[in-house]
Amino acid sequence: IDSLPYKIFKSRWRQFIPEHYFFFSPKTMARLLSDAGLTVERTISIGKHASVDLIFNRLARYAPWIPQVNGFSSLTFRVNPMDIILVFAAKPSHGGNE
């Protein structure tokens, strides 16, 4: 799995759950889409807004010495661990009327 968070956390990676059967990097996704006759137009990583409470809670799973923080659920900011991608692909244009 070509993801920095996976390389750091291994089996404790937050996306490593039984419901996820397949994992793709931008490179493997581009190859699969090309094999299906599609061209990648754009690939972006997806982030989200997370509260300070959530961030500390998640970090404490991996580093128990991190203190529990409560009362900051309304204080949020955008985080992007770069482990979720959104890929836009299309059929190649052949320049003619189709």
- What is d(CA 47, CA 87) in angstroms, rounded to the nearest whole number? 14
Q: What is the pLDDT of residues 24-41, one digit of tens each?
A: 889 999 999 999 999 999
pLDDT digit string, tens, across residues 43-59: 999 888 888 888 888 78
What is the pLDDT at residue 43? 95
The pTM score is: 0.61
User: What's residue 34's pLDDT?
Assistant: 97
68-81 tens-digit pLDDT: 777 777 788 888 87
Residues 77, 12, 68, 56, Cα dihedral to 10°: -10
